[in-house]
A and B are shown apart, each in its own frame.
Chain A
Amino acid sequence: MAILEIRNLTHFFGGLRAVSGFNLELREGEVLGLIGPNGAGKTTVFNLVSGFYQPTEGDICFQGKNIIGLRPHGVTALGMARTFQNIRLWNTLTVFENICISQHSQLGYGTMATVFRSKAFRTSERRVHKTAEEILDILSLQHFSNEYPKNLPYGLQRRIEIGRALAIRPRLLMLDEPAAGMNPGEVDQLIDLIKWIRDKFKLTIWLIEHHMRVVMNICERIEVMDFGETIAQGTPEEIQQDRRVIQAYLGDADLIDA
């Protein structure tokens, strides 16, 4: 069953067609990679799906529900979490608080309850703290729980961002270039982490990545974009052989031969 279905997604930035007629079907439990040269529109697709941009045309259905028109926090509340290409952690809050706050859409209490510390507040707050502690333990970040993210190394910050997304208990996890700026050792750790997360949380993962080692290692299916359009899709092996993909990345093969 498809967890996410995108039909004919089109988005304009002024006169520029950033995404045009994009289609995708994401099956429950799979790991799908979205690759393409710089400026192909990959992150725009992510921003459209997470509700940050409203598409000019097209439909996005998440778990059978059309999410066009929902604001980003509403989309998140449905069980879709993402990370960002350039890390966007809240730097004046501790790691622990970062992971608590991402559960904001699941708090279920309001201002009055906060001020008067009602029962709903206390149970919810306990649950949030417990989830955050679990996530920190799972990702072995417990020693950094009271640190500020900006003081931590890059690889750890990436891990915290993934933790922050996992705290939402998502059905779909979207990772935007998780390996960007990592050294080879960190990339290996990341590959293991993503595989392990998928098995542990039984969720669907959709990732954008330039790092071919990551993509080829963990993705079951790959979709390739160029100039806002899908140019190829298939298994990693098929994609590696695809003429149009090679063309998009390296230029015309005939020219290279000659």
Chain B
Amino acid sequence: MRRYSPHLFYALLCLLILIAAQGNWLNAYLQLIIMFMGVNIILSTSLNLVNGYMGEFSVGHAGFMAVGAYVTSVLNVWLFTSDRVFGPALLPAKSVIFLFPVTLLIGGIVAAFVGLLVAIPSFKTRGDYLAIITLAVNYIVKSAIENIQVIGGARGFMGMRNIGNAMKEVVNLPWIMIWIFVGTGFSVWVIYRFVNSTYGKGIVAVRDDEIAAEIMGVNTRHMKMVAFMLSSGLAGIAGGLFAHILGYINPGSFTIMKSTEIMVMVYLGGMGSLSGSVLSAIGFTIILELFRPLQVIKWVAIPLLLILLMLFRPEGLLGHRELTDVFPRLRRIFVPQGRRA
């Protein structure tokens, strides 16, 4: 029973939010923030896999997010809606309710393969040089999208609102929110299982001492490829979900600014800490909203907060630790019995 308590807890939380949303106790604005929180959790945990656990320095996470966002959106609009560019719907609009996760997953898979663009140079370089490569990939993706006129180029791409509406027509529920909950749960679940296995800990060995890892039997190239693909694939899924929240995306949403925002969440939460990333994604989304009345000063206040954090807690809120290490009481609820280390 205890084994499943975190799952149950999460399911209950999602259910409560859904009931609140359905019963109109949560207004549209709060719902929006909750949805962004979910997307941010996926983004920060997936980036933490590469930047925190593997110790590489990827600064182009928004690029993978863009790939996922565009692939999923284009697929959905092409398949399920009548569009000026893509013509009539190929499949009945109502089937989207089953096929949405499939297109989402395809977006993630395509993003994972773009992640290979970063993984392969990472065999030879690391640190600053790899950071430049990730930055370049971010720009390549953004410029490529800007120059493909079929998907709107720099003007952006829309029509995803119909997808949400089509799902609502079948069963009247806030479907996008449900899929965001599923996606968030899935992403945290995958990363948790990955980094808590001997196999996944291979990437931590790469961070601590790459030479020792390679010589002691860790196939470092393979592990790097897996980590980069997992990370960018999950970012792609986050992008696909993000695109369906507002129903409109443009390349301007996936710039280096967005990548920086994700990085801030990771460093705020602490490197190599999954619970830290989740907490900081939630916290950062709230702070962004709370500081909204400050208008321009917001972008002075938030970096200032970050500077203070770096001065007093350079490791982030939970650097290399989990919430269960800070509050051992939680261990009784959340960690299955009989596990070591």
Please give the residue numbers on chain A whose beta carbons come within 8 Å of chain B beta carbons, in ascending order: 50-52, 71-73, 76-77, 81-82, 84, 88-94, 96-97, 100-107, 109-111, 114-115, 117, 121, 125, 128-129, 145-146, 164-165, 168
* CB <8 Å contact, A101 and B216: yes
Q: Which of A76, A82, A101, A168 contacts B202 (CB 8 A)?
A: A101
Q: Which of A72, A97, A106, A145 contacts B215 (CB 8 A)?
A: A72
Residues on A with C-beta less than 8 A from B220 are 73
A81 vs B218: C-alpha distance when bound (angstroms)? 12
* CB <8 Å contact, B194 and A92: no
Q: Can you list 6 A-B contacts (CB < 8 A)?
A: A73-B220, A81-B216, A84-B212, A90-B209, A90-B213, A93-B205
- Closest-by-CB residue of A relative to B200 is A114
Q: Which of A73, A121, A146 contacts B219 (CB 8 A)?
A: A73
Could you say which interface size class chain B belongs to? 20 to 34
The yes or no answer to B193 lying at the interface (CB within 8 A) is yes
* CB <8 Å contact, A91 and B208: yes
- Closest-by-CB residue of A relative to B212 is A88
Please give the residue numbers on chain B whose beta carbons come within 8 Å of chain A beta carbons, in ascending order: 190, 193-194, 197-202, 204-205, 207-209, 211-221, 226, 230, 272, 320, 340-341
Name 7 extra pairs, CB < 8 A, besides A89-B212, A90-B208, A100-B198: A73-B217, A76-B215, A92-B204, A114-B194, A115-B190, A115-B193, A125-B198
On whether A94 and B208 interact (CB within 8 A), knowing A82-B215, A111-B199, the answer reads no
A104 vs B193: C-alpha distance when bound (angstroms)? 16
* CB <8 Å contact, B230 and A111: yes
* CB <8 Å contact, A96 and B340: yes
* CB <8 Å contact, A102 and B200: no
Residues on B with C-beta less than 8 A from A104 are 198-199, 202, 205, 216-219
Residues on A with C-beta less than 8 A from B219 are 71, 73, 104-105
A194 vs B218: C-alpha distance when bound (angstroms)? 25
* CB <8 Å contact, B204 and A90: yes
Residues on B with C-beta less than 8 A from A93 are 201, 204-205, 208
- Closest-by-CB residue of A relative to B220 is A73
A197 vs B197: C-alpha distance when bound (angstroms)? 29
Residues on A with C-beta less than 8 A from B198 are 97, 100-101, 103-104, 107, 125, 128
Residues on A with C-beta less than 8 A from B197 are 114, 121, 125
* CB <8 Å contact, B204 and A114: no
* CB <8 Å contact, B217 and A168: yes
A50 vs B213: C-alpha distance when bound (angstroms)? 13
- Closest-by-CB residue of A relative to B192 is A115
A137 vs B208: C-alpha distance when bound (angstroms)? 25
Q: Which of B190, B194, B272, B341 contacts A146 (CB 8 A)?
A: B341
Residues on A with C-beta less than 8 A from B230 are 111
B123 to chain A, nearest CB (A): 11
- Closest-by-CB residue of B relative to A87 is B212
A234 vs B218: C-alpha distance when bound (angstroms)? 36
A128 vs B201: C-alpha distance when bound (angstroms)? 13
- Closest-by-CB residue of A relative to B221 is A71
A183 to chain B, nearest CB (A): 25
Residues on A with C-beta less than 8 A from B205 are 90, 93, 101, 104
